[in-house]
Amino acid sequence: MTKKWRVAILGLGHWYSAYNLARALREYPKAELVAAAWHNAAQLAEFTAAFGVRGYADYEKLFAHEEIDLVHLAAPVAELPALTIAAARAGKHIVLGKPMAMTLEQADAMVAAVEQANVKCVAFQGIKRLQSAALKARLDAGEIGDLIVMHQTARWSIAEDWYRSGQPGWFVDPAQVPGGAFIDEGIYWIDFLRWLAASEVVEVEAKMANLVHRELQVEDWGMATFTFANGIVATLEGAWTINAPRVTGPSPKHNAVLRTELIGTHGEIIEDGLRSPNRAVLAAGADNWTFERDATELMGASSPFPLNHLIECVENDTPSPASIQEARAAFRIAMAAYEAAREGRVVRLHEGK
């Protein structure tokens, strides 16, 4: 018989991903959600009642009392380093929340723990590698010539710390996050840009500010320019500057701006992640833009992504493109952007350091 993997969710701080996973697992034959742990009793009770799973007030008790194979880490960022190390030492395979850590030193300790335990770890901040393999293949095939410039925009409304709470909570607490909108929204795209460039960032310039939410202790807007070793230049805007239509809730996601521009020597690809059709392609010799819509499976069951990818890696003993090592590399670049903005200078990075 095919093994049914037992899953636990550790932390409900990033409740978006916790609820998405729990809903998707109901129709996924390879895994089941058996437990969750979180230190907010009311939120834990609401979650466990909704999905019929056991709840624990602290993470250690869950590890002690449950037979689990995989963990999905959805706790606030400040808790992720200790949770990752504990899960690795317990031999559990991991979906790691984002951004991965508070400091580069913590990230290094997490990587070391995962490598020493020889467990699989899929980093949520690297999922664009999994979602955009077909796009990367088109670039590698030279559809728009040599890639020379990339622009990425990720402007959203500010996050809520629970459904309809009307408060950002831990998302804007400097004791629980390494930064604000720039790293929260931008960490996916730093990894994505580095992957597309197939090169390492060697120079970082950046600015951070509070443009809409001026009362916050973390930025609600950030802009960075990355220069890669192979000469490609990329820009990234990560922001919470989209205004919500009501005080007590975030702006609907379709109001956000999620735009990728890939400029080559013989054409361009422009992708609007929240629009349909979502992609425009102009290749060399074309008379006009070609607009494409990504097809989805009709009536298909939702996938517990990226947990299903983690299971494939475990079952086949294959490495993940969205590894914790790649996540650490992207995190290093994000922290360099904060340094560049804070000190008002170009930060130069040595490849692989």
Same domain assignment for residues 140 and 24: no
Range of the structural domain that residue 143 is part of: 128-297+332-348
- Summarised one tens digit per residue, pLDDT across range 207-227 is 999 999 999 999 999 999 999
Same domain assignment for residues 114 and 250: no
Domain count, the chain: 2
Same domain assignment for residues 106 and 232: no
Same domain assignment for residues 152 and 258: yes
Which residue did the predictor score with more confidence, 87 or 253? 87
pTM: 0.94
Distance CA 286, CA 280 (A): 12
**Polymer length of the chain:** 353
- Please say whether the beta carbons of 123 and 327 come within 8 A: yes
Confidence band, pLDDT 50/70/90 cuts, at residue 293: confident
pLDDT of residue 105: 98
CB atoms closer than 10 angstroms to residue 257: 16
- Please say whether the beta carbons of 294 and 138 come within 8 A: no
Same domain assignment for residues 318 and 276: no
Instruction: Taking residues 314-318, report their average pLDDT.
Output: 97
CA distances from 201 to 27, 161, 268 (A): 41, 33, 22
- Please say whether the beta carbons of 9 and 15 come within 8 A: no
- Please say whether the beta carbons of 73 and 308 come within 8 A: no
If we measure between CA atoms, which residue out of 315, 136, 336, 119 comes closest to residue 224? Answer: 336
pLDDT of residue 166: 83
The CATH number of the domain where 103 resides is what?
3.40.50.720
The residues facing 258 across adjacent strands are 154
Instruction: Report helix, strand or coil for 126.
Output: helix
- Phi/psi at 248 (5° precision): -85, 10
Question: 306 preceded by cis ω (within 30°)?
Answer: yes
Same domain assignment for residues 280 and 140: yes
Look at residue 241 and tell me whether its pLDDT is greater than 70.
yes
Q: Does a structural domain hold residue 327?
A: no
Residue the block writes with tokens 């701006």: 257
- Summarised one tens digit per residue, pLDDT across range 225-240 is 999 999 999 999 999 9
Same domain assignment for residues 182 and 134: yes
Distance CA 8, CA 55 (A): 10
Same domain assignment for residues 118 and 184: no
**Average pLDDT, rounded, for the chain:** 93
- 3-state SS string over 5-58? EEEEEECCCCHHHHHHHHHHHCCCCCEEEEEEECCCHHHHHHHHHHHCCEEECC
pLDDT of residue 51: 97
- 3-state SS string over 213-259? CCCCCCCCEEEEEEEECCCCEEEEEEECCCCCCECCECCCHHHCEEE
The CATH number of the domain where 150 resides is what?
3.30.360.10
% of the chain exceeding 70 in pLDDT: 94
